[in-house]
Amino acid sequence: MVVLQKDKLLHFFCGFFIYAIANIFLAEIYALLIVLIVAVCKELYDKYIKKTFIDYLDIGFTIFSGVILTIF
């Protein structure tokens, strides 16, 4: 049984909502690009402001929801 951390689910759903809102105003590829930019900026914020590490899995979960929505 796979149990996802609460943080990963939060990244997934935030990516989903960012994509959904951006897709109202922009084409799918641009909405996906916005999700990518927000995900990377959030991790850079964590590294340089909060002094933690960059979690590439967080970026992946954030982008994954946008990729799923782009495909479907």
pLDDT of residue 1: 56
Q: What is the DSSP string of 7-63?
A: HHHHHHHHHHHHHHHHHHHS-HHHHHHHHHHHHHHHHHHHHHTS-----HHHHHHHH
Domain of 29 in residue numbering reads as 6-71
pLDDT in tens, 1-35: 566 789 999 999 999 999 999 999 999 999 999 99
Number of domains in the chain: 1
For the entire predicted model, the pTM comes to 0.89
pLDDT in tens, 26-39: 999 999 999 999 99
pLDDT of residue 4: 74
Q: Is residue 1 part of a domain?
A: no
Answer for the pair 44, 31: CB distance below 8 angstroms, yes or no: no
pLDDT in tens, 54-63: 999 999 999 9
Q: Is residue 51 part of a domain?
A: yes
